[in-house]
Each structure stands twice: as C-alpha cells, then as structure tokens.
Amino acid sequence: MVPLMVFKLRLIVQHLFFVLLTYGGRFGFHMGFALPCFSCPFVMGCGGSCYLLSLQGNWWGLQMALANWSTVMGLQALYYLGLFVLLTLALNKFWCGWICPFGTLQDWFTYLRRRLGIREAHLSWATRDRLKPVKYILLAYMIVVPLLIAHAGLHYDFHLPFCRSICPAKPLMPLFAGSTRHLALDFTNTVTLVFSILSVAIAGGMLVGMFFKERFFCIFCPMLVLIHLLRKISPVRFEKEVGACLGCGNCRRNCPMDIRDVHEQKTDKAVLSEDCMLCMTCTESCPADGVLSVRFFKWRLFSSSRDYVARRFIKPHKAGSVKVKV
C-alpha cells in the first residue's frame, strides 16, 4: 500500500477544517471563541471563533473595570486566554498551516495561479525584513485601541479595531456563507465609514497579493506572533540535525513563506521560526535522511528522507527514464 503523502494529508485536513469552521455552527459544531486561527466569527454559522476577537473584546471589557477580574466576566476572559494557550500549546503552528480557513483560502489562490501558469511574485529579503514588524504593529494596535476606549474616552465605534478595519477575513470569509454584508461601506458615521473603507480596500489588495504571492497575508498575521510566543513550551518541535545537512537549499526554495532560517541554521537544533506555519513542505523536500523532523514530545511525526523525496518529486515516466516534478 502506498503511504499517504504529507501534502495530500494536509490538503484533506485543511479542507475538512475549512468546512467545519465555516459551516459547523449550522450543525451544532462549535470549537469555542479562542481558536488560534482565522476562523472568522463574522461568518454566520461558523464553527469556531478566532481568538483575536476575544482578545480585543476582553481587553475593552476588563479595562473598563479592573474589579471585573474577580467576577464571572474576568473568569470568562481568563478562560478564553487559558483555552487559547492550551490549544496553541497542543498544535502550535499546525493551526496556521493545517487548520486556518483563511490560510486555506490563500492556498486556493496559489493553486489557481499555478494552474494558470503565472509565476509567483518575489519579495526581496530586504522587503521581507521591512515587513516583519507589521505584524507586531497590528498586535499592538488591537491591544492599545481598546485600552484607549476604556481609559481615554475613545469613541466606542473604534472597538474591535483589527477585525473591523484591517482583517481581510472579515469581508471575504462571510462570502462563503452567502453574506455580502461585510463588503459594504458603513455610512453610519465617520469612524464606521473610515473603518469600512480600510477593511474593504485592504481586502481588495490582499486578494491580489494572495494570488501573486503564496500565503501573502501570513506575512502580516499577528496570530503568528502570539503562537510564536509559546513555541518554547509547546510539545510541537521542528528540529534540524545540523551536522547532517547537505546544504542543498531545497528547504529554502520550497518554503511558501520564503524562510531562510532552516537552511542557514548551523548550530541550533530548533528551527521553528516566527513565520513558519508547519506546512512541512521543507521537510518533504529535504533529501537527507532525518535532517528535518517534526516532533510531538519525543515522538517523531514526520522526518525528511531520501525515499520520500523520490516518491514525492520523482515519478517513473518511461522505462529507463524518470520525470522530475519541478
């Protein structure tokens, strides 16, 4: 029996979770309000809600009255935080590469681009480095603005600042539930109008970005930062046997996030970098046995091997020749 290839397994898991998280609520399935992925709560009947919504909401609610920490409201906020930490520890970046519905949507755009034979846009390393702080700025934005609402009298229409003015999932994901409501501009007042213009304009730009560049939004995703904070205590490990690395550079070339760290790491065993989404494409393309491996505690989930690369990328074509997938 031919073993299931990792990329195929990932494809199955991604689509299963896309359906569950987009439509699950309609069938009574809901994974809670602290998911470490972009499962948009603005999708009617969704099967779970992104933690960033709770984070922005809780900050506002709790800062209104610090005494709330000892009440049910405070416990609820702590519950969401605890659940988020637990879920993140359990699966770490698997949430991004295997579960996130918005990530799956981006992968569809990539698939479409490849089918059309269009090249992927290339961002220079300098550009990548310049864009790195953006996700931290967005994280600060979604924490500071609720504090300003609570303490500085900022208008309440600034609430959920990230969801309502930045996140492209809000206008785009509800389309899968048949709702165009979040594509509309909100003329209620100046704040709502500016937020809705920003939201729709960013979504328009992101649509194109996601088409030309694989996982384009993940470059800016603040959830990656939050998940990365917990990497050291998570049982999910991504390791490299640095001494056995052939230095072929396959990992760097195949990485959808253009991560160099795995290839360039020469000393440290842990190579789970901030932008990594554990899609395991690098591990799949590494031709050296056991150099790259993904572990859960001491158990090895998957590790690189020459045989796997041969099965994945080199297919028998005719007798005496091989066809290499490029």
- For other proteins, the binding residues (CB under 8 A) are 70-73, 75-76, 117-119, 121-122, 155-157, 171, 180-181, 183-189, 192, 196-197, 200-205, 207-209, 211-212
Cα–Cα distance, 259 to 219 (Å, whole number): 11
Which tokens go with 172? 């785009």
Of 214 and 239, which has the nearer Cβ to other proteins?
A: 214
- CA dihedral sign of residues 166, 168, 171, 177: negative
Of 149 and 291, which has the nearer Cβ to other proteins?
A: 149
Are 278 and 238 contacting, i.e. CB atoms less than 8 angstroms apart?
A: yes
Which residues face 90 on adjacent strands? Answer: none
Cα–Cα distance, 29 to 199 (Å, whole number): 28
Which tokens go with 226? 């939050």
Q: How far is the CB of 300 from other proteins (least distance, A)?
A: 37
Q: How far is the CB of 184 from other proteins (least distance, A)?
A: 4
Q: How far is the CB of 55 from other proteins (least distance, A)?
A: 18
Of 185 and 314, which has the nearer Cβ to other proteins?
A: 185
Of 159 and 295, which has the nearer Cβ to other proteins?
A: 159
Q: How far is the CB of 266 from other proteins (least distance, A)?
A: 30
CA distances 134 to 138, 144, 283, 294, Å, are: 6, 15, 28, 28
Q: Running DSSP on this structure, what letter comes out for residue 50?
A: B
Of 80 and 98, which has the nearer Cβ to other proteins?
A: 80
Of 203 and 226, which has the nearer Cβ to other proteins?
A: 203
Cα–Cα distance, 63 to 40 (Å, whole number): 24
Are 202 and 48 contacting, i.e. CB atoms less than 8 angstroms apart?
A: no
Q: How far is the CB of 59 from other proteins (least distance, A)?
A: 17
Residue 317: helix, strand or coil by DSSP? strand
Amino acid identity for residue 53 in this structure: L
Q: How far is the CB of 223 from other proteins (least distance, A)?
A: 23
Q: Which residues are CB-contacts of 232 (< 8 A; sequence separation ≥ 6)?
A: none
Cα–Cα distance, 21 to 105 (Å, whole number): 13
Q: How far is the CB of 88 from other proteins (least distance, A)?
A: 25
Of 185 and 242, which has the nearer Cβ to other proteins?
A: 185
